[in-house]
Amino acid sequence: MFTAFLIKYAEIGIKGRNRYLFEDALIHQIKHALKKCDGRFMISKTQGRIYVDAQTEFDFDEVVEHLKRVFGISGICPVVYVEDEGFEKLCDTVVDYIADVYPDRNKTFKVNARRARKNYPKDSMTINMDMGEMILKTYPEMKVDVHNPDILLNIEVREKIYIYSEIIPGPGGMPVGTGGKAMLLLSGGIDSPVAGYMIAKRGVKIDAVYFHAPPYTSDRAKQKVVDLARIVSRYTGPIYLHVVNFTDIQLYIHEKCPHEELTIIMRRYMMRIAEHIAKENDCLGLITGESIGQVASQTMSSLIATNEVCELPVYRPLIGFDKQEIVEVAEKIDTFETSILPYEDCCTIFVAKHPVTKPNVNIIRRHEQNLEEKIQELVKTALETAELIIAE
């Protein structure tokens, strides 16, 4: 029955003179999302509205599912449109529409007509009244409520006439690409994919970096990260995932530094390397899945130690989340099942029994000096041998 969708957007409506940039980015993201659906679609922008018109047969549920992942969309209205063949014919269509969409008609309604094409013989008020009357005649169980109707029946008169009344909620947020780009430190865990999702939701394009340590971490652990990047890319568009071999760096830190400080020092190197790749790729920030107190390396003292090696801002959208709250988002965005697959993300030899929970930055810095020039070489090699995988 439906052949088009009216796309409603919230926040981008308030961007003043830059509004068209946001609308164009939204259209771009919608096009990208619909590429994966069967059928051909035309996306158009008229008078502050975005329409998706199906030009072929399509699967309604599939299209809605994909549109629900496009940040910037606040609502998706399935539209029936008809040629203008006179008011009576239009009323017949509306009656059929109500029968199809509302099997239970014990509802209140209001007709909300908009005459965008001014040569239509009835003005908006007259359409509202005449159509309301006709609906009441056909369905006596329905009632008019102009203030708070159950069904707001929109009739838009353009070249064709558009009928819609249902709003399927979209994900909200801002279209990806309107907020610059940031580098996500993506591990195989539950948290970092959620962190990437949350920053992307604010319109930020995402690149990612994964540190792996073969043979201590397996190919399957790496594949899991690629799979996670792919799931997140359903919302963000393609993710450029840099896979950095971290083994020699970890072994060298293990050899030279106190074991209870291993995690912190390793994390400082991860941040440095991630920042290097971020800057090379025009990223304006780093993103991690850290939340205060979750593990020893995420106490506020530990965060001081990992933070101080970066110049770029580090975005930690989960900082105040409990694990359960993170899990809820992971389930919603479909990363949870993949995240909990058992493949190790770090070998036990690299995890101290009693890691420091209140590292002193000065002491950490001093111990890092145990690492001689060789660490620079190892970092250089890790950067040079990084593998790029496009997850989409």
Binding residues (CB under 5 A) for Mg ion: these are: 187, 189
Query: CA-CA distances (angstroms) from residue 52 to 122, 135, 286, 299, 349?
Result: 27, 28, 34, 47, 54
The size of the interface with ligand ATP (CB under 6 A), counted in residues, is: 19
Residue of the chain from 165, 178, 192, 250 that contacts ligand ATP (CB under 6 A): 192
How many Å is the Cα radius of gyration of the chain? 27
Q: How far apart are CA 196 and CA 23, in angstroms?
A: 23
Residue of the chain from 289, 303, 329, 364 that contacts ligand ATP (CB under 6 A): 289
**Taking CB under 6 A as the rule, does residue 347 contact ligand ATP?**
no
Closest CB to ligand ATP among 170 and 289? 289
**Taking CB under 6 A as the rule, does residue 189 contact ligand ATP?**
yes
Closest CB to Mg ion among 154 and 192? 192
Closest CB to Mg ion among 153 and 194? 194
**Taking CB under 6 A as the rule, does residue 185 contact ligand ATP?**
yes
**Taking CB under 6 A as the rule, does residue 336 contact ligand ATP?**
no
Which tokens sit at 236?
């963000």
The amino acid at residue 333 is: I
Find tokens 């990260």 and name the residue: 225
Which tokens sit at 203?
């319109």
Minimum distance from residue 332 beta carbon to Mg ion (Å): 20
Closest CB to ligand ATP among 128 and 192? 192
Residues 205-234 that bind ligand ATP (CB under 6 A): 209-211
Q: Which stretch binds ligand ATP (CB under 6 A): 72-80, 95-103, 109-117, 181-189?
A: 181-189
**Taking CB under 6 A as the rule, does residue 191 contact ligand ATP?**
yes
Closest CB to ligand ATP among 190 and 378? 190
Closest CB to Mg ion among 78 and 196? 196
Residue 247 interacts with, from ligand ATP, Mg ion, none (CB under 5-8 Å by kind): none
Closest CB to ligand ATP among 64 and 361? 361
Residue of the chain from 247, 297, 350, 382 that contacts ligand ATP (CB under 6 A): 297
**Taking CB under 6 A as the rule, does residue 187 contact ligand ATP?**
yes
**Taking CB under 6 A as the rule, does residue 294 contact ligand ATP?**
yes
Residues 263-282 that bind ligand ATP (CB under 6 A): 270
Q: Are strands 41-46 and 49-54 parallel, antiparallel or unpaired?
A: antiparallel
Residues 6+ apart with CB under 8 A from 156: 113, 114, 116, 162
Say if CB 231 and CB 335 are below 8 A apart: yes
**Taking CB under 6 A as the rule, does residue 335 contact ligand ATP?**
no
Q: Which stretch binds ligand ATP (CB under 6 A): 70-78, 81-89, 154-162, 203-211?
A: 203-211
Q: Which stretch binds ligand ATP (CB under 6 A): 10-18, 121-129, 164-172, 184-192?
A: 184-192
Burial class (CB in 10 A: 0-12, 13-18, 19+), 224: buried
Quick count: other Cβ atoms within 10 Å of Cβ 264? 24
Residue nearest Mg ion by beta-carbon distance: 189
The CA-based angle 235-267-369, given to 5 degrees, is 150
Query: CA-CA distances (angstroms) from residue 126 to 85, 112, 113, 304?
Result: 17, 11, 9, 66
Closest CB to Mg ion among 94 and 232? 232
Minimum distance from residue 341 beta carbon to ligand ATP (Å): 12
Residue of the chain from 26, 63, 73, 190 that contacts ligand ATP (CB under 6 A): 190
Residues 6+ apart with CB under 8 A from 261: 352, 355, 356, 359, 363, 364, 367
Residue of the chain from 27, 186, 206, 273 that contacts ligand ATP (CB under 6 A): 186
Residues that bind ligand ATP (CB under 6 A): 185-187, 189-192, 209-211, 270, 288-290, 294-295, 297-298, 345
